[in-house]
Homo-oligomer: A and B are copies of this chain.
Amino acid sequence: MQKTRLKEMINSIDYAAAGNQMYQLVSDLYPICRSITGNGVRKTLNKIKPIIPLEVNEVPTGTKVFDWNVPQEWNIQDAWVKNSKGEKIIDFKKSNLHVLNYSAPIRKKVTLNELKGHLYTLPDHPDWIPYRTSYYQKNWGFCISHNQFAELKDESYDVFMDSSLEDGALTFGEFHLKGASSDEVLISTHICHPSLCNDNLSGMVLSVFLGKYLSQVTLKYSYRFLFIPGTIGSITWLSLNEKKASRIKHGLVVACVGDSGNFTYKKTRQGNAEIDKVVGHALQNSQKGFDIIDFFPYGYDERQYCSPGFDLPVGCLMRTPHNEYPEYHTSADNLEFVNPENLSTSLALYLDVFNILEENKKYMNQNPMCEPQLGRRGLYQHIGGHADSKKIQLALLWTLNLSDGRHTLLDISERSGLDFSLILEAADILVEKDLLKEHQIQN
């Protein structure tokens, strides 16, 4: 059976239902305590496997990856602080954010003063628990609300951190979807955060559903999905796949796509890559407010993909950027902060981007000397059944005029001011009538 084109599929999706399914998966993954290594990541990837057949890779602790080494594996069973009466006043079981992520194991009686040196709070948001990590500096600690902190009594405390830091592996998921070409589109998402919904369960879940939908259509490009811990994950993948990396022709880092803010696109380091133009066009087309910002060398994994030795055309398409919403990296980035509608709008935008990428070809006008006679082919004045016959006619003329091997359909859309979908429809009609032929470029 002939698979459909993406352009057909995106119109047939029930986006409301897809939003609900994505939100359900966010909810399922929310309680798991993830970190850059360890069983939390494995559990997470195993929950994704039934939806897309991803490969789970394990890279041993100590593996040299460029300037870095794969760190030890961190696992945690339990953690608490008890007061002098033996009451658990901080309990990992209630929220995995209570633990300073990557804390070393400890069991110790401490004074209030010593305890305070290991507590992290948010004075500006006294009800919220912060999310803090200590990956590359051995430490232990707890994160609590500032209100609770203020009420701590000057007594003795019993601290218990039942964690382990041992040689093991860094775990990541990879899903490769083969298209007609070996040229790849990279979709990269970080999976190292514990119970935080927008950053980045939203990105993980959207990536999963992109994988699911793209699997159902005929593709020009191959798509590579990476579910990796931030920074060390992309460094590890790039180090182990240095040659494969050159196949990546376009890429997006997926993060923070469940909140209610406007879309924000952070451009590639190159700044004028095809993905930059495509996302820009899709955002224009979305008829909602959006921001496009220049590349800067911090943020998510795009900083690794865009390091000067790789300089891959990878941007980052999010809603409100990290650090620009107060709930960022706190317990308030919870199941109420994201919702099905936001997830489904993000899905639609991403699919629109990939549709443009898939269809953004160059064509050659087969009658380049003067216009062909459209009338005798039934393409003049009345195009069968088209709601807006004037616009499709302009689209036909523009597509013929600019199909000289130098302009992609997106270029034609931008120059004519007509929607990409209309130009694509015109190109499809003209190919059907033998007036246009795809321009094959020798690489």
Contact = CB atoms under 8 A, between A and B. Distances in A.
Given A309-B368, A371-B307, A394-B298, A401 B68 contact: no
B307 A401 contact: yes
B310 A369 contact: yes
B368 A67 contact: no
A243 interface: no
A159 interface: no
Contacts of A372: 67
A219 interface: no
Interface string A291-328: 00010111000011011111100000000000000000
A398 interface: yes
Given A137-B375, A365-B308, A416 B296 contact: yes
Interface of A: 66-68, 136-137, 231, 234-235, 238-239, 242, 269, 294, 296-298, 303-304, 306-311, 365, 367-373, 375-376, 394, 397-398, 400-404, 415-416
Count chain B CB atoms within 10 A of each CB in A67, A137, A296, A303 and give the residue with the most.
A67
Across the A-B interface, give the 9 residue pairs with the lowest CB-CB distance, nearest first.
A309-B368, A297-B401, A309-B369, A308-B404, A67-B372, A297-B397, A235-B370, A304-B370, A308-B368
Contacts of A238: 369-370
A367 B66 contact: yes
Please state the number of chain copies in the assembly.
Answer: 3
B136 A371 contact: no
Given A296-B416, A297-B400, A401-B297, A307 B368 contact: yes
B269 A401 contact: yes
Given A376-B136, A416-B296, A402 B308 contact: yes
23 contacts: A66-B367, A66-B369, A67-B370, A68-B370, A137-B375, A235-B370, A238-B370, A269-B401, A294-B415, A296-B394, A296-B416, A297-B371, A297-B398, A297-B400, A298-B397, A304-B370, A307-B400, A308-B368, A308-B403, A309-B367, A309-B370, A310-B369, A311-B404
Contact of A373 (B67, B297, B401): B67
Nearest to A311: B404
Contacts of A365: 307-309
A242 B297 contact: no
B400 A67 contact: no
Contacts of A376: 136
Contact of A67 (B294, B298, B306, B367): B367
A373 B402 CA distance: 48
A233 to B, nearest CB: 11
Given A308-B404, A401-B307, A369 B242 contact: yes
Nearest to A234: B370
A304 B401 CA distance: 10
A239 B368 CA distance: 12
B298 A239 contact: no
Nearest to A380: B136
A398 B307 CA distance: 10
A375 B134 CA distance: 12
B401 A369 contact: no
B303 A371 contact: yes
A251 to B, nearest CB: 15
